[in-house]
Amino acid sequence: MEPDSTSDSREPQNAASHNSAHPMRFEGKTGEFFAIWIVNVLLSIVTVGIYSAWAKVRTTRYFYSNTYLNDSAFEYTADPVKILKGRLLAAGLFLAIQLAAYLAPVVSDIAFLLLMLAFPALLVLALRFRMHYTRWRGIRFVFAPDFTGAYVLFIPLIAYAAVVALLSLAAPSEITEENSGDPMLLWIFYGVMTAAGIVALLFPWWQNRYYRFIGNRTSFGQQSFTYTGGCGGFYLFYAFAGATVVAGIGGYAGLNYLGSDFLAPSVQKILPFVLIGTAYAAAMAYILTARNNLIYSRIQLGEVSMESRLRFPRMCYLYLTNTIAIVLSLGLAIPWAKIRMAHYRAETFTVYAPSFDDFVGAAATEQQATAEDMSEVFAWDFGL
Amino acid sequence: MKTRSVSGFVFDEGSSQRRRATLRVDQENRLWLEGESEPSGLLSALRVPARVGNTARFFQLPDGRGFETSDNDGLDSLLVAAFGASSTIAHRLENNLGLVAVAGVLLIALVLLAATKGVPWAGDITAKFVPDDVRATLGRSTLEQIDGAWLAESKLSSDDRQRLRALFDELSSQITPSSRLLFRSSERLGANALALPDGTVVLTDDLVAISDNDDQLAAVLLHELAHVEFDHGLRSVLRQAGLSVLILLVTGDVSTSSTLIIMLPTVMLSLQYSREFELEADRFALERMVSTGIDPLAFAQIMSKLEASRSADLETKDGQGDETQQHDDGVEDWDYFSSHPATEDRIRLFEEAAEALKSRSR
C-alpha cells in the first residue's frame, strides 16, 4: 500500500561520516500520566475551566519532559497565566460575537470574515508562542515572525474563499421552481465546482509550501532549520489516499450492485458506513503517517538531520485500538492512548548529529499567549 | 535525613554543552556547584518549575547558568528548606492514589449522568427559552426540505379532507389550537404522520388508506399533537446538539478513525431520547382517548397496521436494492430496527388500557 519514498529508512542526506544516530526516547508512564490527567479534568470541571490553562501546561510538560534526546529532555516553559488570559479573551470575544449576532445576524458573518483574514497572522503568533516556550538544554526554539510571508502563503486559499463568496452573492437566496432553470445558476455551480477542483489539485503543492514556510523560519537557538524538497512527495501520498477512498466507494457500489440479492437488509444498511468510513479513516491515517515521515526527512538543522519511521499498518492499529478503548472506557483510556502514541512516535524517531554541544541560545523575548488560544477556541489546530 | 545536594548537569548560559555536576546547599542556604570556589548564589533566588510526574527539571542558577536534574525528590527536599512547601497542590493530588481512583469513578459517573440526564435536561431547559419564531422557522424549513424530497400533493378527496380537518380541529382545540393539518402523499414515507416543531401535522394518504375508521386516525393525530404539545421537535434538536458537544468533550483527543466507532453510542443515545418522547406521546394520546371516549384499542389496531405495512414496504424496497433509500434513511431505519420489540410494548399499553376500561364498565 505504501510508496517507498515516504517510509523507507533513508540515509541522512548530507550526513558526513561523523554523524551518529541518536534515537529519541519517551519515558512517560500510563499510571503516572493517568493521575495527572484525571486531576486536570476534575480541577478543570470544578473551576469552570479556569484550571484548563494549568492543565494544558502540565500535560504538555509531561510529554515534552519525558521525551529525551541524547539523555536531555525537552521542556515546555509557557506560563499558565498567559494562556489563561488568552483563553479568557478568546472566550469573551466569542460570547460578544454570539450576543451581537443575536441582535444583528450579519455580525457573525463579518466576524467570520475578519477571522479568516486574521488567520495567517494568528498562525504566525501561535507558532511564535509555541516555539518560544519549547526548550532543550536550556536553549529555546525560535519562530521568526513573518506576517507578509504568511499572507503571501495564504493568497490561494483567500482567493478561493473570495471566489466562493462572490459566487454565492450572485446566487439567489432560495432555489424555487421558477428560478431552478436559470442558466446563471448552472454557471455559478460550475464556478464553485471548478474553484474547489483547482484548490484540491493545488493542495499538495500548497502544503509543501506551508511546511517550507514554517521550517525555514524556525531555528534552534541561533541555528536555523532548513526545509528542502519539492511537492512531488506530497502529490504521491495524497494520490494514494484519494485512491483508497475511491476504492472504498467503488467497493460499496460493487457490493451493493452484486449483493442486493444475498445480503441481509440490515447488512446493506450499514455497508456504506463500514466500507466508505473505513476507507476514509485509512486514507486519513495514511496521510498523517506519510506526511509526518516526509516532513521530518526534509528538515535539517545545520549538520543535524532527522528521520521518522512511522509505519502505516502500525498507525492504523494504534488509532483503531485507541479509539475503541476510549469509547468503551467512556474516555478513561485517553491517557493510555496518548502515552502509547507518544512511545511509538519516539521509538521511530532518530536524530543524526555529529555533536550536540555547539548550539548557542538566542536572546529571549516575552510574548502574548493570545494567538494560540484564540485558535483553540475557534477549533483550528496548528500542527507542525 | 534531608538531602542537601542533587546531582545533574550544568550548562553555561546559552550553551548546549553539558557537564555532570552536583549542586550543594550549605548551612547558610547558599548554592555551590561541587568543585567550585565561589557560591553560585542563594537558594532563595532559585525559580524552579513545579514538578510534573517524575520528569526532569531545568532551571536557571542565580549566576545565569542552567541546571538540569532528574532527582526530583532530592530537589524538592532542597526547596523545602527555602520555601516551606516542597511541591504544588496539583502534584500532591496526583500522587494521592485514593483520590485518583475516586476521581476516575466520579468521571465515569459524570459522563454517564451527562449522557442520560444532563444532555436531555439542558436541552429541555433551553427549549423553554427559545422564542416561538424559531419553531416557526424550523417548521417551515423542515417542511420545505421534505416537501421537495419526499412529499407530493395529496390525492385525497375534498370530502375526506374536510372530514379529517374537522376531526383534527376538534382534537387540537383542547390541546394546541394553533396547530394545522397538512395532507401529503409520499412513496418514501409510506403510511406515516409527522409533527413539525411549529405545530404542523402532516398526514400521508397511505395512512388514511390503511385505517379502518376515524377513531384510528384520531389516535394517530392525538399522538402527533402530543409531540407538538410537549415540544418534542425542538427538544430533540437541542438534545442532539448537546449530545454532539458531549461526544466532542469525551473523545476530543482522538484524531482519526473515530467516526465509525463513535457513531454507535451516539445512535444508541439518540434512540433512547426518541423512545422517551414516543412513550410520552403515547401516554398523552391514551389519556385523551379515554377522556374523550375513544376506544384505546383503535391505537393498537392502527399501530399493528402500520407495523405490517412497514415491514411489507421494507421487503420490497430492499429486494430492489434501492440505493438512495439506504443512504438517506440510515438513521431512521436504525430506529425502526431497534424499536421493533418496543412497538409491541406500545401496542400492549393500549390493549391493556382497553381491557381495563372494558372490565370497569362491565
What is each CA distance from B225 to A22, A34, B299, in whole angstroms? 71, 50, 14
Pick from B14, B55, B265: which is nearest to A65 by CB?
Answer: B55
Tell me which chain A residue has its CA closest to the CA of residue B61.
A138
Q: What is the residue-level pLDDT of chain A in tens, covering all 384 positions?
A: 334 444 444 444 444 457 899 999 999 999 999 988 888 888 877 777 788 888 888 999 999 999 999 989 999 988 888 778 777 877 788 788 877 776 777 777 788 888 888 888 888 888 888 888 899 998 999 888 888 999 999 988 888 888 877 777 776 655 555 556 667 777 877 888 888 888 889 999 999 999 999 999 999 988 999 999 889 999 999 999 999 999 988 888 887 777 666 666 666 667 777 788 888 888 989 999 999 999 999 999 999 999 999 999 999 999 889 888 887 887 788 899 999 999 999 999 999 999 888 888 876 444 444 444 444 343 333 333
Distances in whole angstroms, Cα of residue A131 to Cα of each of A77, A209, A362, B157? 10, 19, 12, 74
> Considering only residues 64 to 123 of chain B, which have any Cβ-Cβ distance to chain A shorter than 8 Å?
66, 68, 90, 93-95, 97, 99-100, 103-104, 106-108, 110-112
pLDDT given for residue A3 in this prediction: 42
Position with higher pLDDT, B250 vs B267: B267
pTM of this structure = 0.71
Query: Which whole number is the average pLDDT over B298-302?
Result: 89
Task: Report pLDDT for A158.
Answer: 83
Q: Do B107 and A139 touch (CB under 8 A)?
A: no
Is the CB of A326 less than 8 angstroms away from the CB of B253?
yes
To the nearest whole angstrom, how far is the Cα of B17 from the nearest Cα of chain A? 4
| Residue of chain A whose Cα is closest to the Cα of B331 | A269
Residue A281 near chain B (CB below 8 Å): yes
Flag whether residue B314 sits within 8 Å of chain A, measured between CB atoms. yes
ipTM associated with this complex: 0.71
pLDDT at A173: 55
Q: What is the pLDDT of residue B276?
A: 87
Residues in chain B within 8 Å Cβ distance of A271: 326
Bridge partner list, A308: A349
A79, closest residue in chain B (CA to CA): B49
How big is chain A, counted in residues?
384
Q: Is B248 on the interface with A (CB under 8 A)?
A: no
Q: Residue B254: is its pLDDT beyond 50?
A: no
Q: What is the pLDDT of residue A218?
A: 94
| First-last CA distance in chain A | 25
Tell me which residue in A42, A327, A357 faces B17 most closely, judged by beta carbons.
A357
Question: What tens digit of pLDDT does each residue of B332-349 get?
Answer: 444 444 444 467 788 888
Task: Read off the amino acid at residue A39.
Answer: V
Q: Which residue reads 496518548 in cell numbers?
A: A338
Chain A CB within 8 Å of residue B54 CB: yes
Stretch (H or E) spanning B288: helix B259-292
Distance from the Cα of A50 to chain B's closest Cα (Å) equals 14
Whether A73 sits inside 8 A of B326 (CB atoms) is no
Q: What residues of A are in contact with residue B100 (Cβ under 8 Å)?
A: 34-35, 38-39
CB A347 within 8 A of CB A324: no
Residue B27 has a CB neighbour count (10 Å cut-off) of 6
Report the largest interatomic distance among the alpha carbons of chain A, rounded to a whole angstrom.
76
A176 to A173, B17, B139: CA distances (angstroms): 10, 73, 18
Q: Which three cell numbers stand for residue A363?
A: 536572546
Instruction: Say how far apart CA A153 and CA A343 lie, in whole Å.
Output: 34
pLDDT digits (tens, 9 = 90+) for B94-130: 777 787 788 878 878 888 888 888 889 988 998 888 8
Q: List the Cα angle B12/A306/A56 in 5-degree steps.
A: 70
Looking at the complex, does the CB of residue A201 fall below 8 Å from at least one CB of chain B?
no
How distant, in Å, are the alpha carbons of B153, B184, B188, B189, B202 from that of B156? 9, 9, 18, 16, 13
Mean pLDDT of B187-202: 86
Give dist(CA B267, CA B270) in Å, integer: 5
Which among B143, B144, B181, B179 is positioned nearest to B161, based on CA atoms?
Answer: B181
- Look at the block and give the residue holding cell 406521546: B281
B271 touching A, CB under 8 A? Answer: no
In this complex, the residue of B13, B52, B319 whose CB is nearest that of residue A36 is B52
Count of CB contacts below 8 A, A vs B? 177
Residue whose C-alpha is closest to residue A54's, from B266, B300, B94? B94
Using DSSP, how many helices (H) and how many strands (E) does chain A show? 12, 11
Residue B3: what pLDDT? Answer: 52
Specify whether the CB–CB gap between A129 and A78 falls below 8 A.
yes
Question: Cα–Cα–Cα angle for A257, A262, A268, nearest 5°?
Answer: 60
Tens digits of residue pLDDT in B44-95: 888 888 888 888 889 988 888 899 998 888 888 888 766 666 556 777 777 7
The pLDDT assigned to A1 comes to: 38
pLDDT at residue number A239 = 94
Per-residue confidence (pLDDT) for residue A348, from 0 to 100:
95
- The Cα of B256 is separated from the nearest Cα of chain A by a number of Å equal to 6
Q: What is the mean pLDDT of residues B276-289?
A: 89
Judge whether A211 is closer than 8 Å to chain B, CB to CB: no
